[in-house]
Structure 1
């Protein structure tokens, strides 16, 4: 769920001077540092803090996405001197461009996790994912990140009759995690969504959706308040040294640090070959519709976000106080031109809601997420002593939070909870061949979705 340049229309909330008349912010700047997304439009332009001299720290974190920022905040709260280095800007990648869904779980399904690690370990991991969701909610409240604008509720939708399966999952969540969701079908579901495609849903009112870029900036402000330093436009060139004594070299200076943590996500380069070989950059796409609250309200009567159960899922939510629809979906192994992808996203929207055929696209964006072969986060320590926390695979709002926490606990010696992720290590993804296999798998998922919906009466 990430981004590329804004496009399509200038109308519907954007005048000739580049003002968004809905959020009353000026986004006409010629700067191309941050890709034009809905999130960026509704926030003031930040001051960029570039590294100006060499320094020392207890820990140097490479990457100012949500994993890096969450771990930095936790480490700063523990009294450590933290320096975060970012090649672009805070939350420049997936962390500031995604759909904004904060839910439990991982990119990999629970059944596959259980098959790999067993029931007890799988349940413990799912519990961590719930904890991650709560960490985000607590940070928003405690740090008073008002611009994040969290909205409760996510509807998990099935496009075929699935009452038995969803009720079973509802009961399982309540029994094992004291986590309560509601099953909706028939008239109850149609009160929320006017689509003939949908049959059953689980309504999770513990989960929420929000502005992820605002949240990331709120974390950064809290880190700086605690004395931590975040240097943007400061790309790391090399990391030299050994465990306990590292030199993190940039073109703007060097950070001498006891520990190094790599949290570079979907834009991981070859700085650390073991990480570079073990993730796939997967592009996903998001569009924002024009301002048309009456038309949108005619089919969507809920503030909850919607996530369908397709393997190649659509996800969407009403934003801007009901005036626009933010719609995401589709993945590719390369970042395609958003102009073309917005047409496909619009087609998906209209297939779900024919009533929205006249609702135009205002802008669209794309970008890269990091996926491991096993579709689980990669959290641990390399043989040379460097720490890593990455590969959140499109489910990063909760998993970056818990990942950042457990890796910070490991660095400070508070716990070894990060070892719960050790069964999901740095597996080689197969390079170009691996990318082709992932793309083929995604196309297969699309066919399986269609077959399942037809076979089960969807």
Structure 2
């Protein structure tokens, strides 16, 4: 029996899809992709488009991990800001990386249309709302986005935000018309079907157990068979194991939580916008209305990889704290997923000294970055371009071992405290309404 996906909103609304076989016997291909999330599926798609023969190995089911459990926000940028990127790359390098992230968004849109993917439901617009008063800061951000990147952002006054989000927690906001939100699991399942239709080999429930160098390439072994390939691409994200010690030492598995509500009568008394919503806290909330009357809500960042016993109540409380009028809401499902973070908060896209390509470390900003990762890796393998080198300044930095996790958790708590201090000041009586 094929392994089941965990209970999420996406599993409850997934499109019809095949189960793929487990690996058996030996197969000869040009490229073996390890990991069937969006990075792996995007890499397989791009390699097939270049005439390369591809096999993909997935430990569970395709998009079983964070790729099929996330908020479904597709927007340009990375998990860290432009200024931090420019410190390592210079301004020109940072601008080129931003352009790649924009290209990633465009590729997702093109894939949905080109492949006519079922039940992906792309919906335009992402609204970023802030929980403190800073109209001037947001207006400056609009101008800077236009000047640096030619990007269109719309400033929203507090009155405009309050019309859409009926919560006293929010002040002003920015609306991105070029971003969108969608059903990531159905998107991934559609990519998988397209890979198989084009002759790509997909093997589920087939964890790779060893990679051995050989003349002209590699042998990737899994229970039941092996893949002989000229190139290997590791795309295992937050579930990376010790198959590649260099990758295992270079990422931090970070959990985030999500919740789906039961249907809510007159949901517009709280959320009155088709846009997806996020606040600007470092580990803030992100959410959207699905099915017309349910809320899909995500939030929290933790190095604790096991789910807390009261996960549903933790997330329910976050909703009610923001929207007290929804105090009677009921929970339909709650779940978590592991993201792959690097210490520098940028994707780790490149090649190890042993010759293994890798695309991981997407840090909670993976819908566009997994997609562009697949393209630049495929371009490099096919000898089309060296755009992959733009990510070279963000290599496989050591994750700090157990002290790295402690440092990440301590940083999160510090940022939470700073957010709380800023918001407390914003809501004092002297704060501007």
Task: Give 1:115 shift.
Answer: 2.3
Which of 179, 191, 194 is the matching residue for 1:207? 179
5 Å-filtered alignment, 1:75-90, equals: 75-90=47-62
Give the 4+ runs in structure 1 shifted more than 6 A: none
Task: Give 1:176 shift.
Answer: 2.7
The two structures, once aligned, show a CA RMSD in angstroms of 1.5
* CA–CA separation in structure 1 for the residues paired with 2:235 and 2:49: 19
Which of 394, 402, 406 is the matching residue for 1:424? 394
Task: Give 1:456 shift.
Answer: 4.3
* CA–CA separation in structure 2 for the residues paired with 1:31 and 1:243: 35
Which of 275, 281, 284 is the matching residue for 1:313? 284
Task: Give 1:178 shift.
Answer: 2.2
Equivalence for 1:398: 368
Inter-CA distance 427–62: structure 2 relative to 1 (3 Å threshold)? same
* CA–CA separation in structure 1 for the residues paired with 2:299 and 2:260: 12
Q: Which stretch shifts more, 111-120 or 265-274?
A: 111-120
Task: Give 1:32 shift.
Answer: 5.5
Equivalence for 2:247: 275
SS in 2 for 1:420: helix
SS in 1 for 2:64: coil
Equivalence for 1:304: 275
SS in 1 for 2:297: strand
Structure 2 runs not aligned, ≥5 long: none
TM-score by length of 1: 0.91
Inter-CA distance 444–117: structure 2 relative to 1 (3 Å threshold)? same
Equivalence for 1:330: 300
Task: Give 1:419 shift.
Answer: 0.6
* CA–CA separation in structure 2 for the residues paired with 1:297 and 1:117: 44
Kindly indicate whether the alpha-carbon contact (under 8 Å) linking 2:23 and 2:226 is maintained by their aligned counterparts in 1. Answer: no
* CA–CA separation in structure 2 for the residues paired with 1:113 and 1:163: 25
Equivalence for 1:15: none
Task: Give 1:243 shift.
Answer: 6.9
Task: Give 1:323 shift.
Answer: 1.5
1:355 matched to 2:328? The reply is: no
SS in 2 for 1:240: strand
Kindly indicate whether the alpha-carbon contact (under 8 Å) linking 1:242 and 1:385 is maintained by their aligned counterparts in 2. Answer: no
Equivalence for 2:314: 344
Task: Give 1:242 shift.
Answer: 4.2
SS in 2 for 1:326: strand
TM-score by length of 2: 0.96
Equivalence for 1:27: none
SS in 2 for 1:146: coil
Equivalence for 1:38: 9
Which of 376, 379, 383 is the matching residue for 1:409? 379
SS in 1 for 2:25: coil
Kindly indicate whether the alpha-carbon contact (under 8 Å) linking 1:243 and 1:384 is maintained by their aligned counterparts in 2. Answer: no
Kindly indicate whether the alpha-carbon contact (under 8 Å) linking 1:338 and 1:364 is maintained by their aligned counterparts in 2. Answer: no
Kindly indicate whether the alpha-carbon contact (under 8 Å) linking 2:349 and 2:358 is maintained by their aligned counterparts in 1. Answer: yes
Task: Give 1:314 shift.
Answer: 0.5
Q: Deviations over 1:77-129 (max 9, x none)?
A: 11110000111110011100111111111111222112222211111111111
Equivalence for 1:20: none
* CA–CA separation in structure 1 for the residues paired with 2:50 and 2:72: 28
* CA–CA separation in structure 2 for the residues paired with 1:42 and 1:117: 42
Equivalence for 1:173: 145
Kindly indicate whether the alpha-carbon contact (under 8 Å) linking 1:293 and 1:324 is maintained by their aligned counterparts in 2. Answer: no
Q: Which stretch shifts more, 159-168 or 407-416?
A: 159-168
1:286 matched to 2:296? The reply is: no
Equivalence for 1:26: none
1:225 matched to 2:223? The reply is: no
SS in 1 for 2:185: helix
SS in 2 for 1:191: helix
Equivalence for 1:246: 218
